[in-house]
Amino acid sequence: MAANGLAGSAFDRSELHRKQAVCDGPAVPGGAVARPANHGPRPDGRGLSPRGWPVGVGIWLVGARGSVATTAVAGAAALRAGLVPPVGCVTETPDFAGAGLAPWSALVFGGHDVVETPLPKRAEALAQAGVIPARLVEAVRDELAAADAEIRPGTESRGGQATEAARLAADVTAFRERHGLDRVVVVNVASTESPREPRAEHDDLAALRNAMRTGTPLPPSSLYAYAAITAGCGYVDFTPSPGIRLPALERFARERGVPYAGSDAKTGETLVKTALAPMFAARALDVRAWSGTNLLGGGDGATLADPAARASKTASKDRALREILGRPVEGETHIDHVPAMGEWKTAWDHVRFEGFLGVGMTLQFTWQGCDSALAAPLVLDLARLVARSHETGGAGPLPELGFFFKDPVGSGEHRLVLQYETLRRWAAGLGEAR
């Protein structure tokens, strides 16, 4: 393995295309890759790829030109070509080998965004920040350009949302039809929204639709969720924004027979918390205080510099600790924007606890990581799992995917090991549903 984490000592686009051709079929003009013809019917009469997988799975990213989305698209292209190992991809571990998940060669990317910086340029900036190896950006440039060509303008609607929702849904539907995809999963990786006051129409689908004709009752994340459900797509809330977590939208998803998962992916400090807090509880050690400080750069840090957006994030981060320990403890989670840190983040936690005879003790840990590199493989994992669930008839919330989230929908379980066991058993069931 080369020092930069790339397979082999050197590679270029010709090598990537050669490897893709083995998996996907011959190259076609414009740098795209021809998808193989269907080989035999499935029980539902639809085609299979030569390896028995669905013809294609679309991953439609809301916030498609952001750091996480760009890293996910570049990473998927590199994985498909065999240029990097699947480090960080939970679904590539042995426990998921029989789950029937779509392979990297089946994934196609598109999305919505309100910014116009092309994905190749965004990837170049991430390479300068040390997030993506520079040589890898050049090797997957055509794949980044192909995904960028599938990005459509995001919502900035100020008027009635019904028309805008129809446009967003039409974008996703056209993407699915244009590529002949078996199904599409919409993943919201856009900036965190500020908390919104609940409205009466959020509880009733008919009232919501009526309000959408002339007004803006939905925050942007929920409008994207509404459009995804309308288009018949599975949905993932990767952020703590409201998204699909409104009663009317949850009911709509069940009616449309689409699965959804969320919310707020745990990639750093909270991941460690949900591993360590059960240890204290299991050993009957009395946690008295747990304080954390997070220093973030990049777009996520800039977004969370807003007090309202920061409140949404800290509420999500602190919920797991209360649930695991069974009570609130002293201490808070602080988030500070430090632009000089760029795409990196540091979390420092201080835990004060008591042992036998009331003896006070302390645990401290520091987590330093690259948020995009931690988040991107989870985007790919979640899209593959939600697509497979949809294929096997899954609909409504997927609490089995709580392993990936700070605030899992449909589940109050936050202990990491137990979440993983639930996920593993569920994935085994997906394989049996072939």
Burial 16-51 (b: 16+ CB within 10 A, else e): bbebbeebbbeeeeeebbebbeeeeeeeeeeebbee
DSSP classification of residue 263 = S
CB atoms within 10 A of CB 336: 14
Q: Are 19 and 70 in a shared domain?
A: yes
Give DSSP secondary structure letters for 355-375.
-GGG-EEEEEEEEEEEHHHHH
Cα-to-chain-centroid distance, residue 363: 31
Which pLDDT does position 317 carry in this prediction?
72
Output the domain CATH number for residue 229. Answer: 3.40.50.720
What confidence score (pLDDT) does residue 194 get? Answer: 82
Q: Does residue 91 belong to any structural domain of this protein?
A: yes
Tokens 């993407």 found at: 175
232: left (phi over 0), alpha (psi -120 to 50) or beta: left
In a domain, 324, yes or no: yes
Q: What is the DSSP letter of 260?
A: E
Can you tell me which residue has the tokens 């996520």? 300
Residues 86/92, Cβ–Cβ less than 8 Å? yes
Residues 6+ apart with CB under 8 A from 284: none
- Does the residue 8 lie in any domain? no
**Residue 1 covered by a domain:** no
Q: How far apart are CA 391 and CA 145, in angstroms?
A: 29
CA–CA dist 9, 106 (Å, integer): 27
User: 82 with 228, same domain?
Assistant: yes
Asked whether 81 and 13 are in contact (CB, 8 A), the reply is no
| 357 shares a domain with 325 | yes
32 and 47 in a single domain? The answer is yes
154 in any annotated domain: yes
The domain that holds 362 is classified in CATH as: 3.30.360.10
Residues 382, 365, single domain; the answer is no
Distance CA 236, CA 381 (A): 11
Q: What CA–CA distance (Å, rounded) separates 211 from 160?
A: 8
Same domain for 151 and 108? yes
Which region, left, alpha or beta, applies to residue 314 given φ > 0 means left and ψ of -120 to 50 means alpha? alpha
Number of domains composing the chain:
2
Mean pLDDT by 10 residues, the chain (434 residues): 35 42 35 32 38 72 97 98 97 97 97 97 96 96 98 87 96 97 97 88 97 94 98 97 96 97 94 97 97 85 66 72 93 90 93 98 96 96 98 97 96 96 97 80
Residues 261 and 274 in one domain: no
In a domain, 257, yes or no: yes
- Give the distance, in angstroms, between the CA of residue 274 and the centroid of all CA atoms in the same chain: 19
Q: Which of 370, 389, 420 is the last residue of a domain?
A: 370
Please give the pLDDT value at position 55.
Answer: 62
* CA 244/CA 226 separation, integer angstroms: 7
CA distance 116 to 152: 10
Do both 247 and 148 map to the same domain?
yes
Are the C-beta atoms of 345 and 294 separated by less than 8 Å? yes
Q: Are residues 168 and 310 in the same domain?
A: no
Whether residues 83 and 165 share a domain: the answer is yes
Task: Note if the bond before 263 is cis, omega within 30 degrees.
Answer: yes
Q: Are 186 and 231 within one domain?
A: yes
Contact between 390 and 258 (Cβ < 8 Å): yes
Helix (H, G, I), strand (E, B) or coil at 267: coil
Q: What is the pLDDT of residue 357?
A: 97
pLDDT of residue 310: 62
Instruction: Calculate the CA dihedral of residues 393, 395, 400, 403 and round it to 10 degrees.
Output: 120
Distance of CA 400 to CAs 246, 405, 422, 428, Å? 20, 11, 6, 12
Instruction: Tell me the pairing of strands 333-337 and 286-296.
Output: parallel
Stated pTM of the model: 0.86
Q: Report DSSP state, residue 333.
A: E
Q: Are 313 and 398 contained in the same domain?
A: no
Whether residue 2 is contained in a domain is answered as no
Domain that holds residue 284: 269-370
Rounded to an integer, what distance in angstroms lies between the CA atom of residue 296 and that of residue 291? 17
Under a CB-based contact definition with an 8 Å cutoff, are residues 296 and 338 in contact?
Answer: yes
Pairing between strand 151-153 and 107-113? parallel
Alpha helix positions (H), 231-330: 247-256, 269-282, 298-303, 307-325
